[in-house]
Amino acid sequence: MEKTLKPEDSLSVIAEMVSKTKRNLQEGSFYYLMWGWLALGAAGVEYFLLTYMKSDWHPIVWPVMGVLGGIASAVYSRKAHARQGHTSFIESAMKIVWMAFGAMMVLAILMGATQNWSLAYVLIIALYGMGTFISGGILKFRPLIYGGVACWIISAVCILWSSEFLHFPTMLIMLMISLAVGYLIPGYALKNSEAKNNAA
Amino acid sequence: MLPDLDPLLHTQLRLQIVTLLAGVEDADFNWLLENTGATRGNLSVQINKLKDAEYLTVEKGFKNNYPLTTCKITKKGREAFEKYVAAITKYIKHQQK
């Protein structure tokens, strides 16, 4: 049956449906926490390989981390989409941001492998900052914006005080700090915010 | 003079469908079912009407061996929706005079 509407009924139908699309907040904290802990683990293993094992194979942790994280993200994203039943504009925008981040990471790793690993890490920290800052802007979530700015400050500190910070294994410690402030702290804040939104 | 209201959008369920789809990139049939509260049969009929008018695109596929219907609003559908909202706003303002 087709139910025709009065103008005021139309407006209330539109308002009700708009509120339903707004209520379906995406669950983004999983990605920050998963990638944050995975990268922190990878940096820790690299620090161990470099400091205690004196291995030249220390950068191997990053491709391994990329493959593991990529598989976990793809599986989670597929399940989340099936559960949600729709794709929001925010998710589409975030996908493009993180695809650009992935491409820049590959370039940074190429730069590290062919030129200078310490400088590549400065760029990687700045890239973490860029991804987090843009995501924070899209989601209108301040802790992510602050996390992104913190990563840029850490990156600038490494460049400006290069004699203190721009060498291994100190760079790995700086990377671990940037992962904590850029991913993990905002990731847990986002998780709390999602829990509150879902409870409301 | 008040503008004509698009008869395709001036029914409850079709307006619900188009409003929901205007707020997302794409959505599957079950999500629309859940959010509109319609019956499967009625939702399917109204989606087909909107598809025939080129307000929506409908893709049929499979996910985990279950049929999956994904709907997406078209440019024509979005423009019609925006025009409808503008017309409704004029009607309401006219009534309040």
Q: Do B12 and A3 touch (CB under 8 A)?
A: yes
Residue B38: predicted pLDDT = 94
Between CA B86 and CA B89 the distance in angstroms is: 5
Residue B28 in this model has a pLDDT that exceeds 90: yes
Is B3 a domain residue? Answer: no
Is B5 a domain residue? Answer: no
Interface-testing mutation among A20, A77, A91, A138, with chain B (most B C-beta atoms within 10 A): A20
pLDDT-derived band of residue B35, with 50, 70 and 90 as boundaries?
A: very high
Number of domains into which chain B is organized: 1
Helix (H, G, I), strand (E, B) or coil at A37: helix
Q: Do A21 and B16 touch (CB under 8 A)?
A: no
Q: Which of B12, B28, B88 has its CB closest to that of A85?
A: B28
Rg of chain A over Cα atoms, rounded to whole angstroms, equals: 21
Look up the domain containing B30 and give its range.
12-96
Is B30 a domain residue? Answer: yes
Q: Do A17 and B13 touch (CB under 8 A)?
A: no
Helix, strand counts (H, E) of chain B: 4, 3
Q: Quickly count: other Cβ atoms within 10 Å of residue B77's Cβ.
A: 23
Q: Which of B25, B88, B91 has its CB closest to that of A89?
A: B25
Contact yes or no for B33/B46 (Cβ under 8 A): no
Residues in contact with A117: Cβ distance below 8 Å, sequence separation at least 6, in sequence order: A59, A168, A171
Distance of residue B92 Cα from the nearest chain A Cα, in angstroms: 6
Q: Do A10 and B31 touch (CB under 8 A)?
A: no
Contact yes or no for A97/A135 (Cβ under 8 A): yes
Predicted interface score ipTM higher than 0.85: yes
Is B7 a domain residue? Answer: no
CATH number for the domain harbouring residue B42: 1.10.10.10
Q: Do B16 and A17 touch (CB under 8 A)?
A: yes
Residues in contact with A32: Cβ distance below 8 Å, sequence separation at least 6, in sequence order: A132, A144, A183, A184, A186, A187, A190
Is B46 a domain residue? Answer: yes
User: Mean pLDDT in chain B?
Assistant: 91
Question: What's at B79, amino acid-wise?
Answer: E
Interface-testing mutation among A14, A19, A25, A83, with chain B (most B C-beta atoms within 10 A): A14
Is B2 a domain residue? Answer: no
Interface-testing mutation among B83, B88, B97, with chain A (most A C-beta atoms within 10 A): B88
pLDDT-derived band of residue B91, with 50, 70 and 90 as boundaries?
A: confident
pLDDT tens for each residue of A69-120: 999 998 988 888 777 888 888 888 888 998 999 899 889 988 988 998 888 9
Residue A23 in this model has a pLDDT that exceeds 60: no
The percent of residues above 70 in pLDDT, for chain B, comes to 98
Helix (H, G, I), strand (E, B) or coil at B20: helix
Residues in contact with B96: Cβ distance below 8 Å, sequence separation at least 6, in sequence order: none
Peptide bond preceding A169: is omega within 30 degrees of 0, i.e. cis? Answer: yes
pLDDT tens for each residue of A143-190: 999 999 999 999 999 999 888 777 888 889 999 999 999 999 999 999
